[in-house]
Amino acid sequence: MSLKDQIKSLAATLGYHACGIAGVQPFEDYRTSLHELAQRFPESAELCRRMERRAEPLGLNPWARAIVICVRRYGKYAIPETVASHIGRNYLCDRRIKDCPDTTMPKRMKDGLTALGIRVRTGGVPSREAAVRAGIVQIGKNGFAYAPGCGSWINIEAWMVDAALEPDIPAPPAPCPEGCHACLDACRTKALAEPYVTRIHHCIAYLTYEAPEPIPPELEAKMGPWIYGCDDCQRVCPMNQGQWSATEPAPWITGVVDALTPGALAVMDPETYARVVHPLFGYIPLNNLNRWHTNAKRAFGKMNELMK
């Protein structure tokens, strides 16, 4: 078996849905779109500047010869709609959650590559663009990556390696059905400014967590029921219809459903938050409970409004 086949076989054994190989040449289109974004939306300039480093894979890793890219499918977990209606599914199926069975996949992949005698560095590249280059995903007009058989309910993981592997054939562009703009219509804050252009600082996923507070009232008024993240532009997408098949349990969510309602989160005490909720989102500072309160109160108000 060739080294490339051994790597793909390793990825499949670990549960990855797909694995591809990309070259390490600069990601010029990625760089150009970051420049355009920064020029058009100055509030995004600093973030774009930080992201631009990844356009040059060999910048910090001149030894790299190829990029190994894998797709992890999370659209298989039984996440209750009562939670997924206001917390993004990506966060509920995050492999960083310690009870999620996928937790160790990246480390095991890295260890497996190392055991094959390969020097490895995790990340360091624009993962979506690298996955397109490796032929395993296509990008929709909503900016999300879609993999055959998964829709956009995926995560992409990348490793730079020093093995000279033959790159796979890039994926063709534009998978969207002609004339479709359902995602743009569904975007409440108009963060999807136009096809393939996301105004990051207007995206609810950013506004519910990273954005400095207070959120501009005109944006906050449009955030709907979302407490953390937003799936609107993925839920309406025809390419996602039938792509979530809940074949595997998600006890780390089903076991704490009552704590994840807008009503419960709106008034949650610090002890319950630290014990029950925070372990799911451990990368968020523990002292961020106020933000959960604010988001949950807004979502709770929105739900009550809809029920009137």
Check binding of 87 to ligand SF4 (CB under 6 A): no
Q: Which of 177, 249, 251, 270 binds ligand SF4 (CB under 6 A)?
A: 177
C-alpha of 155 from chain center? 6
Q: Measured from the CB of residue 109, what is the shortest distance to ligand SF4 in angstroms?
A: 28
Q: How far apart are CA 265 and CA 293, in angstroms?
A: 6
Name which of 34 and 187 has its Cβ closer to ligand SF4.
187
- What is the nearest approach in angstroms of ligand SF4 to the Cβ of residue 131? 16
Phi (first) and psi of residue 169, to 5 degrees:
-80, 130
140 binds ligand SF4 (CB under 6 A): yes
Rama region for 124: left / alpha / beta (φ>0; ψ in -120 to 50; rest): left
Minimum gap (Å) between residue 20 Cβ and ligand SF4: 21
Taking CB under 6 A as the binding criterion, the range among 52-60, 102-110, 198-206, 249-257 that sits at the site for ligand SF4 is 198-206
Which of 48, 69, 147, 205 touches ligand SF4 by CB under 6 A? 205
> Can you list the alpha helix ranges (DSSP code H) found in the chain?
3-14, 28-40, 45-52, 81-84, 89-92, 105-115, 127-133, 182-186, 204-207, 217-220, 232-235, 251-254, 262-266, 270-272, 289-307
Report residue 50 as tokens: 């930080």
> Measured from the CB atom, is 70 or 192 closer to ligand SF4?
192
Contact 120, 175 (CB under 8 A): no
The first and second tokens of residue 25, run together, are 């040449």
The reply on whether position 86 binds ligand SF4 by CB under 6 A is no
Residues 213-272, interacting with ligand SF4 (CB under 6 A): 230, 232-233, 236-239
CA angle 219, 223, 229 (to 5 degrees): 120
Q: Please, which residue, 112 or 151, has the CB nearer to ligand SF4?
A: 151
Least Å distance, CB 93 to ligand SF4, is: 16
145 binds ligand SF4 (CB under 6 A): no
3-state SS, residue 146: strand
Q: Select from 191, 253, 260, 277 the one that contacts ligand SF4 (CB under 6 A).
A: 191
Residues at the site binding ligand SF4, with contacts judged by CB under 6 A: 140-142, 176-177, 180-183, 186-187, 189, 191-192, 198, 203-205, 230, 232-233, 236-239
